[in-house]
């Protein structure tokens, strides 16, 4: 493994240009579309449960708080599956691995749709979460490999675009199917997306013999790299604030902003639209300067979270700032993914998947902290204030990481 570095030149594959696929732009776009379609399906199933919990609770004979364990089970599957699959499947050819992961995704969601009771549904949600982080990590590496020179982060952002679009189209669609045909039909819809993705991956993604294939020992070596850990801590802490706000956004918009309940789905679609724009902007920023991009985007997130504390008291300003929160959140991701790929050396698969474990820990931690300040009587705007402080803590972690990297490599030119 090579020493950690922060740069924008394409790692590993640029040293072996003959291994890069020479495919025409239309074929490249088709492959990116197939990868993004998988992200769309995964993003849809991740958030679908949140809008269907009352119906799922009723069907399984448990209370809604207990049904919340279905969401936790999925997140636990992501946290466990990302590093385990990345390490154990290190020798598997990347295209084959993507197809296997999507197959597991289909099975997990089919089991969800057919689960007869609480315990089986809990297990099905855990299974559905297992391929989440590994898929995004491997898809990001494949996208970077297929990308044109100098457009690596933009390619990664394209894959993540599927996750953003899921919040605008996929999640509302599952809510619609759930209300009209029952909650099981929502997951049947997700299964259909998974099957279409399987076909797209098989037909549109070219053979990937040039993508670096590692081994379990080498992949686990990522855990010995300080810069990998620092980047993961930065993501866990810094993103926790946005999840603190998103978890309680429905009550915030209705109780503080004065929006009717019927407008909450529209507000969430607005948030998702901001995520889509953030992916595009973030990819361009990261391709130009990774480290400055991380600082700039995190500062932007801190500002909009702090602004939301005041803006939430008016329905118009609340919706406007909510859009920019979505944009700021996803604008950071391409740079985080690029930095991890650079810092990981030969252990790129594990590092790229661990970021999704970090995000799910941020999700759980942010939701918990938001609940604590609300329960303490500080109101529904308090999570945004705490979120801004978490963003500041993330900036401190990033600053320490960059300073340590420069001390170890005095010749390093950041960005």
Q: Three-class SS string for the chain?
A: CCCCCCCCCCCCHHHCHHHCCCCCHHHHHHHHHHHHHHHHHHHHHHHHHHHHHHHHHHHHCCCHHHHCHHHHHHHHHHHHHHHHHHHHCCCCCHHHHHHHHHHHHHHHHHHHHHCCCHHHHHHHHHHHHHHHHHHHHHHHHHHHHHCCCCCHHHHHHHHHHHHHHHHHHHHHHHHHHHHHHCHHHHHHHHHHHHHHHHHHHHHHCCCCCCCCCCCHHHHHHHHHCHHHHHHHHHHHHHHHHHHHHHHCHHHHHHHHCCCCHHHHHHHHHHHHHHHHHHHHHHHHHHHHCHHHHHHHHHHHHHHHHHHHHHHCCCHHHHHHHHHHHHHHHHHHHHHHHHHHHHHCCCCHHHHHHHHHHHHHHHHHHHHHHHHHHHHHHHCCCHHHHHHHHHHHHHHHHHHHHHHHHHHHCCCCCCC
**Which one has a higher pLDDT value, 11 or 155?**
155
- When divided into structural domains, the chain yields a total of 1
Burial of 61 (0-12, 13-18, 19+ CB in 10 A): exposed
Mean pLDDT across the stretch 40-60? Answer: 83
Indicate if the pLDDT at residue 304 is higher than 90: yes
Residue 244: CA count within 13 A, CB half-sphere: 34
* Choice among 66-80, 179-193, 289-303, 339-353 with the minimum mean pLDDT: 339-353
Domain of residue 60, CATH code: 1.20.1250.20
Mean pLDDT across the stretch 279-303? Answer: 88
**Confidence band, pLDDT 50/70/90 cuts, at residue 7:** very low
Does residue 415 belong to any structural domain of this protein?
no
pLDDT at residue 348, as a whole number: 65
Cβ proximity of 201 and 102 under 8 Å: yes
* Choice among 34-38, 88-92, 95-99, 149-153 with the minimum mean pLDDT: 149-153
175: CB partners within 8 A, 6+ apart: 48, 51, 52, 186, 265
Chain segment 319-337, per-residue pLDDT in tens? 999 999 999 988 888 888 7
pLDDT at residue 35, as a whole number: 92
pTM: 0.72
**Confidence band, pLDDT 50/70/90 cuts, at residue 13:** very low
**Which one has a higher pLDDT value, 6 or 406?**
406
Indicate if the pLDDT at residue 93 is higher than 90: no
pLDDT at residue 1, as a whole number: 38
**Which one has a higher pLDDT value, 291 or 191?**
191
Mean pLDDT across the stretch 18-27? Answer: 53
Does residue 235 belong to any structural domain of this protein?
yes
* Choice among 96-100, 184-188, 194-198, 347-351 with the minimum mean pLDDT: 347-351
pLDDT at residue 51, as a whole number: 67
Does residue 265 belong to any structural domain of this protein?
yes
Indicate if the pLDDT at residue 409 is higher than 70: no
**Confidence band, pLDDT 50/70/90 cuts, at residue 3:** very low
Mean pLDDT value across the chain: 81
> What are 149's two structure tokens?
């020179």
Chain segment 342-353, per-residue pLDDT in tens? 776 666 666 667
**Which one has a higher pLDDT value, 236 or 11?**
236
Does residue 5 belong to any structural domain of this protein?
no
Q: Give percent of the chain above pLDDT 90.
A: 29
Does residue 414 belong to any structural domain of this protein?
no
pLDDT at residue 193, as a whole number: 95
Q: Rounded to the nearest 5 degrees, what angle is found at the Cα of 220, between the Cα atoms of 219 and 223?
A: 120
Q: Give percent of the chain above pLDDT 70.
A: 84
**Confidence band, pLDDT 50/70/90 cuts, at residue 19:** very low
pLDDT at residue 336, as a whole number: 84
**Confidence band, pLDDT 50/70/90 cuts, at residue 226:** confident
Does residue 1 belong to any structural domain of this protein?
no
Quote the domain boundaries for residue 85. Answer: 13-408
Distance of CA 219 to the CA centre of its chain: 21
**Confidence band, pLDDT 50/70/90 cuts, at residue 219:** low
Does residue 332 belong to any structural domain of this protein?
yes
Does residue 197 belong to any structural domain of this protein?
yes
Burial letters 204-228, b for 16+ CB under 10 A, else e: bbbebebbbbbeeebbbbbbebebb
């Amino acid at each position: 493994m090579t020493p950690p570095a922060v740069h924008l030149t394409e790692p590993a594959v640029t040293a072996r240009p003959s291994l890069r696929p020479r495919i025409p732009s239309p074929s490249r776009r088709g492959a990116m579309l197939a990868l993004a379609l998988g992200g769309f399906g995964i993003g849809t199933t991740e958030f679908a449960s949140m809008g269907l919990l009352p119906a799922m609770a009723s069907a399984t004979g448990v209370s809604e708080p207990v049904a919340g364990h279905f969401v936790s089970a999925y997140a636990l599957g992501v946290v466990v599956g990302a590093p385990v699959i990345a390490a154990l499947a290190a020798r598997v050819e990347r295209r084959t691995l993507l197809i296997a992961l999507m197959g597991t995704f289909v099975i997990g969601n089919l089991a969800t749709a057919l689960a007869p009771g609480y315990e089986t549904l809990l297990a099905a949600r855990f299974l559905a979460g297992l391929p989440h982080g590994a898929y995004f990590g491997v898809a990001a590496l494949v996208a970077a490999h297929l990308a044109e020179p100098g457009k690596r982060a933009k390619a990664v952002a394209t894959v993540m675009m599927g996750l953003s679009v899921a919040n605008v189209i996929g999640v509302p669609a599952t809510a619609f199917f759930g209300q009209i045909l029952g909650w099981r039909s929502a997951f049947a819809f997700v299964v259909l997306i998974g099957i279409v993705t399987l076909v797209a991956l098989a037909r549109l993604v070219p053979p990937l013999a040039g993508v670096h294939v590692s081994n379990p020992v080498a992949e686990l070596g990522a855990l010995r790299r300080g810069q990998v850990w620092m980047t993961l801590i930065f993501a866990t802490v810094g993103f926790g604030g946005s999840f603190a706000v998103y978890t309680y956004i429905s009550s915030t918009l209705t109780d503080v902003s004065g929006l009717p309940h019927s407008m909450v789905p529209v507000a969430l679609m607005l948030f998702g639209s901001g995520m889509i724009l953030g992916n595009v902007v973030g990819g361009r920023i990261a391709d130009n300067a990774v480290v400055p991009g991380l600082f700039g985007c995190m500062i932007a997130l801190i500002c909009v979270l702090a602004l939301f504390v005041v803006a939430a008291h008016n329905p118009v300003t609340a919706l406007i700032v909510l859009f920019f929160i979505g944009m700021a959140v996803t604008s950071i991701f391409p740079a985080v993914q690029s930095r991890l790929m650079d810092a990981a050396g030969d252990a790129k698969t594990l590092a790229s998947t661990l970021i999704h474990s970090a995000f799910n820990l941020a999700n759980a931690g942010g939701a918990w902290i938001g609940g604590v300040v609300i329960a303490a009587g500080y109101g529904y705007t308090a999570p945004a204030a705490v979120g801004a402080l978490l963003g500041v803590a993330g900036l401190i972690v990033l600053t320490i990481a960059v300073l340590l990297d420069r001390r170890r490599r005095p010749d390093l030119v950041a960005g």
